[in-house]
Chain A
Amino acid sequence: MFLDSDRSILEFDRVAFAYEKETEFIRGLTFSIANGEFIGLLGANGSGKSTILKLASGILKPACGSIRLWGKSLQSYKNKDKAKLLCYLPQLLDINVPFKVRELVSMGLYPYNVLPDMTVDESLSIVGLLGKAESYIKNLSGGERRRTFIAMTLIQGAGLILLDEPLANLDIKYQIEIINLLRELRNKKGISIIIALHDINMALQFDKVMVIKNGRIVGMGNPETVLSADLLREVFDVSIDIRKHNFITL
């Protein structure tokens, strides 16, 4: 289902991609993301969530089909221009970067020759790391590290942020913190966010979920309606009972 082209910011149109030459991993993938959406990309391990994000950010090139970012073809953007619009954070963040928090966050300014509005301090205070601005990355906890990189993407000023499993290996406290932070960013600044994750318990936090199995979309829409027991059995191969609790309080 296509939305109006001047309201959708990311469109995939019959995109196909294969890691090896023989097998086609993703076929005929078509979807559209509108401005200001907070989307969860749900699926089992190896179902193609990371691949979709990498295709969207331009790290991988589709074998066929087209990807449009804000109406223009993704390939036609120059790297620097694309960086001002779109930001991708991978799943594994290297612990051993030798930088301090402040240095790392200021690297979000690299695509710019002129200084944008937000300063490093503002961005750090939004993620709550202003007090640790001078510490080294490797001395932070997993959640704090993730938040530092999120601060970097804030300064980068992208309109669309793609995060690959930002909640992996974090304590529930940090998971909640980060989800809340991201939702606030969407609420206050109008940034569109797509998060790939495989923890279905977090699914309710999103406006919209896209469920992926074997590189194809098997469900898209409001999590309350989309995530039925049948769907979950098909995607995750488990028989589970769904109980809905809204335990997140702001």
Chain B
Amino acid sequence: MSKVRISILVLIATVIFCVSLFFAPTVINPFHLDDVTKNILLFIRFPRVTVSFLIGLALGASGAVLQGILRNPLADPYILGISSGASLSAAGVLMSGFYLFGKFTIPVAAFFGASLVSLLVGFFGWKRGGFWPERLLLAGVGLSFLFNAVLMLLLSISPGERIGRTLFWIFGDLSAADWSLIPYGFLFILSGFVIFLCRAKALNALILGDEIAHSLGFSVHRERLLVFISIALMTAASVSLGGIIGFIGLVVPHIMRFFTGADNRMLVPASGIGGGIFLCFADLIGRSIMQPTEIPSGIVTALIGSPYFLYLLRRKDVFGL
């Protein structure tokens, strides 16, 4: 039964991928290509749609796992402060104009900022040999505030043009998708995803509490460490590829949990694929509605996601509440 459901998800994902590739914002017929449309298809649309799937996968799966580990229905990958660190780094580069690595500078800076914050969160969340969910959460929140404040400071003293560009990046900008970045995205995101799939049983056990998980034979601190590192790398990679795209990590796992139940062996892949579908779809809408202006995907996901989220809250017995 669940195999059928996952297959349906994969099918929907393929359909959305193709629609996004060939139909948005203008129709390109793959059988009648000339130079320009071939370039557009291969070098603008294809990387963009691939990146949107990767980011959706990363955020959806990480959100599902994090909600289980922190036992908190409001957790999403950015709660660990990763988004603030990445924004600050990227903003720093955008404001100062120091492009050390050419076109790779902003993704590298964002990745660096995200990793730095993750390290700090890990450091503050570590006590007596392991990670504790409450400490991680509080450390993440605290660091978020700090980095956001510094970011606001930077924004307040900067000239107008740079603010605009920084805000666009922060809202989620998939237009910089480039083939040369994608392999690195694949590396971090797919390996993290595989780690989640392999540790799904441990994740289930952790939901029951540390002591019962230990009793079932899992080394609680080791599992949390491994999972935390995976989440940090996946989120850092997704933020460096496409900016801050909110809502996927928070809402998609809840939606998927309604269809697959709370078992992480089903929930994590479903959230990942569901996240990819959602972001790809949001990007499709963002590119097509007000052509040629592109609405940043982070905005579209929030605009579509929030009403659905609130609707679910009224209707269904989700979030364990």
Contacts and interface: CB of A to CB of B under 8 A. Distances in A.
Given A79-B219, A99-B262, A88 B214 contact: yes
B263 interface: yes
Contacts of B215: 57, 83, 86-89, 153, 156
Interface residues of B, number: 21
Contacts of B214: 57-59, 79, 88
A166 B48 CA distance: 56
B209 interface: yes
Contact of A110 (B217, B257, B261): B217
A110 B218 CA distance: 9
Interface stretch (A90-98, A121-129, A187-195): A90-98
Given A90-B209, A99-B262, A82 B217 contact: yes
A79 B217 contact: yes
Interface stretch (A31-39, A100-108, A167-175): A100-108
Nearest to B217: A83
A111 interface: yes
A189 to B, nearest CB: 18
A200 B105 CA distance: 70
A90 B205 contact: no
Contacts of B211: 54, 57, 59, 88, 90
Contacts of A94: 71, 208-209
Nearest to B208: A97
Contact of B205 (A58, A89, A98, A107): A107
Contacts of A110: 201, 204-205, 216-218
Contacts, number: 73
A43 to B, nearest CB: 19
Contacts of B262: 97-99, 103
Contact of A100 (B209, B212, B218, B261): B261
Nearest to A81: B217
A80 B217 contact: yes
Contacts of B218: 79, 110
B217 A97 contact: no
B207 interface: yes
A138 B263 contact: no
A80 B214 CA distance: 9
Given A79-B217, A80-B217, A97-B207, A89 B212 contact: yes
A198 B216 CA distance: 26
Nearest to B67: A98
A89 B219 CA distance: 16
Interface residues on A, range: 20 to 34
Interface in A27-81: 54, 57-59, 79-81
Nearest to B215: A88
Contacts of B216: 83, 107-108, 110-111, 156
A83 B257 CA distance: 29
B160 interface: no
B320 interface: yes
A220 B217 CA distance: 31
Contacts of A88: 211-212, 214-215
Nearest to A58: B214
A157 B212 CA distance: 15
Contacts of A108: 216
B175 to A, nearest CB: 38
Contacts of A54: 211
A54 B71 CA distance: 23
Interface string B244-269: 00000000000001000111000000
A111 B216 CA distance: 6
A103 B263 contact: yes
B217 A111 contact: yes
Contacts of A89: 212, 215
Interface string B51-75: 0000000000000000000010000
A59 B129 CA distance: 13
A98 B266 CA distance: 14
A67 to B, nearest CB: 15
Interface in B294-321: 320
A108 B204 CA distance: 11
A88 to B, nearest CB: 4
A204 B257 CA distance: 46
Interface of A: 54, 57-59, 79-84, 86-90, 93-94, 96-100, 103-104, 107-108, 110-111, 138, 149, 153, 156
7 contacts: A54-B211, A79-B217, A80-B217, A83-B216, A94-B71, A103-B263, A138-B320
Interface of B: 71, 201, 204-205, 207-212, 214-219, 257, 261-263, 320
Pairs of residues from A and B, 6 with the lowest C-beta to C-beta distance, nearest first: A83-B217, A98-B262, A111-B217, A88-B215, A80-B217, A90-B211
Given A59-B214, A81-B217, 18 more contacts: A57-B215, A59-B210, A79-B214, A80-B217, A90-B211, A94-B71, A98-B207, A98-B320, A99-B204, A100-B261, A107-B201, A107-B205, A107-B208, A107-B216, A110-B205, A110-B216, A110-B218, A153-B215
